[in-house]
Structure 1
Amino acid sequence: MLNKVILIGRLTQDPELRYTPGGVAVARFTLAVNRARLNKQGERETDFIDVVVWQKQAETCANYIRKGRLVAVEGRLQVRSYDDSQGIRRKAAEVVAETVRFLDRPKEGSGHGGAGSGGDIPEFGSEISFNEDDIPF
């Protein structure tokens, strides 16, 4: 069996970084991914896909990518169930990222990964990956 997803898109908002009670970093963001075909009106449609990133990769994403940045995500599709505030059972589909590749450079003066920000900034086109054993579930 195979469960593999590869996406290229732009972030719709800055990643949201949180920590589990055990101290494991988890970041969430949404990618806007254009469909290959045009609709009947000749317009390109866009899908908005939720992405979850764990551990060191989550912290790196939260520190160095922002809304509008182009990234490639490779991972697996996960469907989970939850009860909403009215007690109705819902399902959510999201991609659990195994690798995130930054595909463009940050704009000058963005404050995150831009010129003069210092630190170990991932290079353009760099890949951030982790071992599947690192996922805490």
Structure 2
Amino acid sequence: MNITGRLTRDAEVRTLSNEKQVVNFSVAVNDGYKNKQGEWVEQTAYFDCAYWISANVARLLTKGTLVELTGRISPRAWVNKEGEPKAGLNFHTSNIKLHGGGKRAEAVQATSQSENNGFTAEAAEDFLPF
């Protein structure tokens, strides 16, 4: 599955007890439709994302960056401290494509480093495809 959205915060790298590293970040995906009254209704879905292939990508994943992600979605449910049921969506990312627009103003130019790392960056001088 593919999703395209903007990072809601800078990515964080966590090191697990088995020394594996995971990059965690959150993406907001906007969508919309016209209701029966002809009014435009905007909807935003938030995905908590995890990328396990290379922790080096975290430095490029800054708040506001437009990214295209490939991976799989898994739902999660929990009960918060107040006892209220909550739900969310996790996106297990296998490929990240940067489209720019984050905190870093400099252009990023890279190509896929290897078939296994699943990361691609393109020239990103404030280019927005829409």
Give the aligned partner of residue 42 of structure 1: 40
CA 1:81–1:46: 2 relative to 1, 3 Å: closer
Picking from 49, 52, 56, the partner of 1:51 is: 49
Give the aligned partner of residue 14 of structure 2: 18
Give the aligned partner of residue 123 of structure 2: none
Gapped regions of structure 2 (runs ≥ 5): 118-130
Asked if the contact 2:64/2:101 (under 8 Å) is kept, the reply is no
Gapped regions of structure 1 (runs ≥ 5): 116-120, 132-137
Could you tell me the percent identity over the aligned residues?
25
The 2-side partners of 1:74 and 1:64 are apart by: 17
Give the aligned partner of residue 124 of structure 2: none
CA 1:12–1:127: 2 relative to 1, 3 Å: farther
Question: Between Structure 1 and Structure 2, which shows a larger proportion of helix residues?
Answer: 1
Deviations 1:43-94 (A, max 9, x none): 42211111111141xx133111200001011001123455655788865430
Letter in 2 for 1:22: N
The 1-side partners of 2:51 and 2:17 are apart by: 16
CA 1:105–1:127: 2 relative to 1, 3 Å: farther
Please provide the CA RMSD for this pair.
3.1
The 2-side partners of 1:82 and 1:43 are apart by: 29
Asked if the contact 1:6/1:75 (under 8 Å) is kept, the reply is yes
CA 1:29–1:106: 2 relative to 1, 3 Å: closer
Asked if the contact 1:74/1:99 (under 8 Å) is kept, the reply is yes
Q: Give secondary structure in 1 for the equivalent of 2:5.
A: strand
Asked if the contact 1:99/1:130 (under 8 Å) is kept, the reply is no
Q: TM-score scaled to structure 2, two decimals? A: 0.67
Report how many residues are paired. Answer: 114
Picking from 23, 27, 30, the partner of 1:31 is: 27
